[in-house]
């Protein structure tokens, strides 16, 4: 499990995006790229999540882009990991009502 401390977002224009992606978020810790989250519009190919050379590739529908950006902007710590053929991105347990 890796702790995400930085992210970089790219949006792809044109009708088919870039390499069948509409947008991509690169996730990193303090010194290494951990992987990417790629977003796909309906009708675009939707590959399985994967991990190669320790880098995780997660695929999500474009409808989830705003929610992922919101979590990256407002929550911490953020964890990114790969288990049993699936990529996971999320927060650690936090107390209710903790606030920002």
Confidence of residue 64 (pLDDT cuts 50, 70, 90): very high
The answer to whether the peptide bond before residue 10 is cis (omega within 30 degrees of 0) is: no
CA angle 2, 51, 16 (to 5 degrees): 110
- In a domain? residue 77: yes
Provide the residue range defining the domain that includes 55: 2-91
- In a domain? residue 82: yes
pLDDT for the residue numbered 66: 97
The conformation of residue 14, written as its DSSP 8-state character, comes to S
pLDDT for the residue numbered 67: 96
Greater confidence (19 vs 7) lies with 7
- In a domain? residue 13: yes
Give kind and range of the element (H or E) at residue 8. strand 6-11
- In a domain? residue 61: yes
Helices (H), ranges, 45-94:
65-74
- In a domain? residue 97: no
Confidence of residue 44 (pLDDT cuts 50, 70, 90): confident
- In a domain? residue 34: yes
**CA distance to 62, 63, 97, per residue, from 66 (Å):** 8, 7, 23
- Count of CB atoms situated within 10 Å of the CB of 23: 20
**CA distance to 19, 71, 74, per residue, from 44 (Å):** 9, 25, 29
CA dihedral sign, ordered 28, 29, 32, 35: negative
pLDDT for the residue numbered 58: 98
- In a domain? residue 99: no
- In a domain? residue 39: yes
pLDDT surpasses 80 at 76: yes
pLDDT surpasses 90 at 50: yes
Domain count, the chain: 1
């Amino acid at each position: 499990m890796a702790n995400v401390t930085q992210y970089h977002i790219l949006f792809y224009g044109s009708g088919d995006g870039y390499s069948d992606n509409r947008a991509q978020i690169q996730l990193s810790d303090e010194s290494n790229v951990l992987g990417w989250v790629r977003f796909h519009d309906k009708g675009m190919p939707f590959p399985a999540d994967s991990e190669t050379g320790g880098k995780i590739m997660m695929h999500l529908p474009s409808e989830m882009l705003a929610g992922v950006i919101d979590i990256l902007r407002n929550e911490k710590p953020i964890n990114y990991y790969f288990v049993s053929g699936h990529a996971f991105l999320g927060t650690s347990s936090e107390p209710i009502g903790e606030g920002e």
